[in-house]
């Protein structure tokens, strides 16, 4: 398990080899840096279910001034929640063009996250982007280069690190109360397999071509958008990439993995027996880390410990004790009074205390500090999810170099580090 510093990342040949960032004409803006007493202005890109939830929270701390969605029904529903008029767009580039918008919230389907984050960096906006940060390794590296180059403040929407209960767990684990953690076993319920919609013309309120964006063109199908995009490998990647982005964010945080990565990943799965979805319904994944030795597993479906009813979580096995952590996103916790009452020793590790995930980002925009769920760690978290799906798709274990971020002596696997993107949505 090898760390790679940000400075070293930017100097590596692999980083330099990433294709240049291509930005559609007319996207650049000149956003000013807000002063300490100014109310930050926000543009929201993607205002479906999750985008709507984030907007309800964010408007307490900042001023929404513009909304964008390719689905007009989403725009109508969100506009009704605001207490003053806002501008509405079907093309997110119109938001990025505006110099009066300080920052953007990106809550689009996963296959858009990296491209829109890069474009927002180039337009001088700070960014809150939903997890996962990226859908390919190439995308993640391009995002990191853009953040570094343009000096943007980026928070990723894996909010577990902002929850008081998981802060308690982090303190408990990092201060050695479990001993050295050698294994983390994650459980989750199965992916869906009931997508049976027929291809059809898109509804008049949906811009289907813009919804696809960088993804390959396919005929419109109702199963591919809104919530159910998650069960297509090219858009959402299934539970291991959706909920896994939350659970693995905590694993990296609790164990101080930072920018580390596995050296080997293996995965097996059961393809859906019917329907449009292509994510495996059942899935078993194992990631192996080195120096120190650590094994992380994902079982879908998995068997939670006796007495645990939560549908997902992880068991941390240390040399001195074992701890079950339920959930990992907006809910969950631990059934341990010892953890909940734990106070770090003097001189020990104290996890950062933040008022809330969204508020933490707004405060960091003002201070230019790094948010609690930063893009560097989130790239490594997303990489675990990406590697799992690639091992499943290729049907064999893969050896991984976490510094070079390439597969070892495996030209076939390395071809999957990036995916073709439709012009002009290339990063």
Q: Work out the end-to-end distance of the chain between its first and last CA atoms, rounded to an integer number of angstroms.
A: 28
pLDDT exceeding 90 applies to what percent of the chain?
85
360 in Cβ contact with 162 (< 8 Å)? yes
**How many CB atoms sit inside 10 A of residue 130's CB?**
21
43 neighbors 31 (Cβ within 8 angstroms): no
- How much is the pLDDT for 103? 98
Q: Where are the alpha helices (DSSP H) in 243-399?
A: 244-254, 337-340, 357-367, 375-394
Task: Using pLDDT thresholds of 50, 70 and 90, give the confidence band for residue 331.
Answer: confident
Angle between helices 357-367 and 49-58 (to 10 degrees): 60
The reported pLDDT for the residue numbered 14 is: 41
> Is 211 within 8 Å of 186 (Cβ atoms)?
no
Nearest residue to 104 (alpha-carbon basis) of 37, 60, 160, 58:
58
Q: How many other β-carbons are positioned within 10 Å of the β-carbon of residue 122?
A: 18
> To which residue do tokens 């990106």 refer?
106
- Alpha-carbon distance of 377 to 74, in angstroms, equals 31
Q: Express each pLDDT in 363-420 by its tens digit.
A: 999 999 999 999 999 999 999 999 999 999 999 999 999 999 999 999 999 999 999 9
How many CB atoms sit inside 10 A of residue 236's CB? 23
- Give the pLDDT confidence score for residue 19 in this predicted structure: 41
DSSP secondary structure letters along 208-220: HHHHHTTSPP---
What is the per-residue pLDDT for 37? Answer: 53
Question: Residue 27: pLDDT above 80?
Answer: no
Cα angle 424, 42, 208; round to 5: 35
Instruction: Identify any residues that bridge with 304 across adjacent strands, giving them in sequence order.
Output: none
Query: Which domains are delineated in the chain?
Result: 6-160+362-372 (3.40.50.720), 161-195+208-346+385-413 (3.30.360.10)
Joined tokens for residue 371: 């948010």
Structure tokens given for 65: 């001034």
CA diameter of the chain: 64
- Tell me how far CA of residue 101 lies from CA of 33, 66, 92, 156, in angstroms: 10, 8, 12, 19
* Residue-level pLDDT at 33: 54
Q: What is the pTM of this model?
A: 0.92
Q: How many whole angstroms separate alpha carbon 194 and alpha carbon 281?
A: 10
Tens digit of each residue's pLDDT (9 = 90 or more) over 223-250: 999 899 999 999 999 999 999 999 999 9
Question: What is the pairing mode between strands 332-333 and 322-327?
Answer: antiparallel
pLDDT in tens, 265-312: 999 999 999 999 999 999 999 999 998 899 999 999 998 999 898 999
Structure tokens at 289: 């880390």
| Percent of the chain residues past pLDDT 70, beyond the cut | 91
Rounded to whole angstroms, the Cα distance separating 287 from 142 reads: 24
**What's the alpha-carbon Rg for the chain, to the nearest Å?**
21
Q: Is the peptide bond before 258 cis (omega within 30 degrees of 0)?
A: no
- pLDDT score recorded for residue 17: 38
Spatial CA neighbour of 405 closest among 122, 111, 117, 8? 8
Mean pLDDT to the nearest integer, 120-124: 98
pLDDT at 34 over 70: no
Confidence check: pLDDT of 26 > 50: no
The answer to whether 124 and 326 have CB atoms below 8 angstroms apart is no
Q: Which residue has the tokens 């076993």?
A: 185
pLDDT of residue 3: 42
User: Measured between alpha carbons, how far is 410 from 82 in angstroms, rounded to an integer?
Assistant: 52
Q: What was the pLDDT predicted at 18?
A: 38
């Amino acid at each position: 398990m090898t760390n790679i510093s940000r400075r070293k990342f930017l100097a590596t040949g692999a980083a330099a080899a990433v294709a240049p960032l291509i930005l559609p004409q007319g996207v650049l803006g000149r956003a000013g840096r807000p002063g300490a007493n100014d109310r930050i202005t926000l543009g929201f890109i993607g205002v479906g279910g999750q985008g709507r939830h984030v907007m309800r929270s964010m408007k307490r701390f900042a001023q929404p001034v513009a909304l964008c969605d390719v689905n007009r029904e989403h725009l109508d529903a969100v506009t009704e929640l605001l207490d003053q008029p806002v501008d509405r767009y079907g093309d997110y580039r119109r938001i990025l063009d505006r110099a009066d918008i300080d920052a953007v919230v990106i809550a689009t389907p996963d296959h858009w996250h990296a491209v829109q984050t890069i474009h927002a960096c180039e337009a001088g906006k700070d960014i809150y982007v939903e997890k996962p940060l990226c859908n390919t390794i190439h995308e993640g590296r391009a995002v990191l280069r853009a953040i570094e180059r343009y000096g943007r403040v980026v928070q990723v929407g894996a909010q577990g690190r902002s929850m008081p209960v998981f802060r308690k767990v982090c303190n408990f684990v990092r201060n050695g109360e479990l001993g050295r953690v050698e294994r983390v076993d994650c459980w989750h319920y199965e992916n869906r397999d009931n997508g049976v919609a027929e291809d059809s013309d898109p509804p008049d309120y949906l811009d289907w071509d813009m919804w696809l964006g960088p993804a390959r063109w396919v005929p419109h199908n109702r199963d591919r958008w809104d919530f159910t995009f998650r069960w297509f490998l090219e858009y959402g990647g299934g539970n291991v990439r959706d909920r896994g982005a939350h659970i693995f964010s905590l694993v990296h945080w609790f164990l101080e993995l930072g920018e580390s990565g596995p050296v080997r990943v293996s995965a097996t799965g059961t393809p859906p027996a019917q329907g449009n979805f292509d994510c495996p319904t059942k899935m078993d994944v194992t990631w192996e880390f080195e120096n120190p030795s650590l094994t992380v597993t994902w079982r879908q479906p998995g068997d939670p410990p006796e007495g645990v009813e939560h549908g997902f979580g992880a068991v941390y096995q240390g040399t001195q004790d074992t701890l079950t952590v339920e959930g990992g996103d907006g809910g969950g916790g631990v059934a341990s009074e010892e953890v909940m009452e734990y106070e770090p020793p003097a001189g020990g590790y104290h996890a950062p205390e933040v008022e809330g995930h969204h508020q933490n980002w707004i405060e960091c925009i003002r201070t230019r500090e790094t948010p609690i769920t930063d893009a560097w760690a989130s790239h490594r978290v997303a990489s675990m999810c990406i590697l799992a799906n690639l091992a499943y798709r290729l049907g064999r274990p893969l050896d991984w170099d976490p510094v070079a971020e390439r597969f070892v002596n495996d030209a076939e696997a390395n071809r999957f580090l990036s995916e073709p993107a439709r012009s002009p949505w290339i990063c």
